[in-house]
Chain A
Amino acid sequence: MSKRRTIDARGSFCPGPLMELIAGMKMAEVGEEIEILSTDKGSASEIPEWIHKVKHEHVGTEEKDGVWHVLVKKTH
């Protein structure tokens, strides 16, 4: 099973959650999964755009009680 870490970016506005994810991705190992939590709706769509652009894997996005959980796997 892949290693997974969670980054809590709730309360931060765009592009704060994206930047926090990228900082976390830099420290992660290839194959590791990172879940970013965000209350910013714009970031919930912006983050998958970035994931596709830089060719990591967007595992999925879920919204629970106003919090978006975006899961990404580092592929390179």
Chain B
Amino acid sequence: MSNRISIMVVSGSIERLQMAAMVASVGAVGGSEVSVFLSMNALPLFKKGASAAAPAEGAVGKLLVEKKAPPFKHLFEQAVELGDAKIHPCSMAMDILGYAQDDIEAYVGEPMGLTKFLDDATAGQVWSF
């Protein structure tokens, strides 16, 4: 069985980002090869200096903030630092938003296209948020 986890994150809501970050961090520190693809409304939250506050979809999202759950950006960073996860911005979203590599957080790697992400994803679990 493949030990690869591919995670596509397109939502900008805190609940989905939190769950994606949890899967990425716990998967990576558990020995899986984790690849995260950030696109659509998720990517602007990874712009340097952007507030980590993402809108809540419902009551649990508000509680995540009130109860100070580990911030999703911190969990993604830990996935990279502690579990060697790879996080890539979607090349299309980078172009649409007009971002350069220097505009996004340092733990986010080089832009990746969908062809490469899908190709890598064929051999393991795929999650989308």
* Chain A residues within CB distance 8 Å of chain B: 11-16, 18-19, 22-23, 26, 46, 50, 53-54
Contacts and interface: CB of A to CB of B under 8 A. Distances in A.
Nearest to B71: A16
What are the 4 closest A-B residue pairs judged by CB atoms, nearest first?
A16-B70, A13-B69, A19-B78, A22-B29
Contact of B31 (A12, A16, A26, A53): A53
B25 A15 contact: yes
A45 to B, nearest CB: 13
Contacts of B22: 14-15
A26 B84 CA distance: 13
A21 to B, nearest CB: 9
Given A19-B25, A23-B82, A13 B31 contact: no
Interface of B: 22, 25-26, 29-31, 67-70, 75, 78, 82
A53 B30 contact: yes
For the complex, would chain A's binding face be called helix, strand, loop or mixed by DSSP majority?
A: helix
B69 A16 contact: yes
Given A18-B29, A22-B29, A13 B75 contact: no
Contact of A26 (B25, B30, B75, B82): B82
B70 A12 contact: yes
A53 B28 CA distance: 12
B103 to A, nearest CB: 27
Nearest to B81: A23
Given A22-B82, A23-B82, A26-B82, A15 B30 contact: no
A3 B83 CA distance: 25
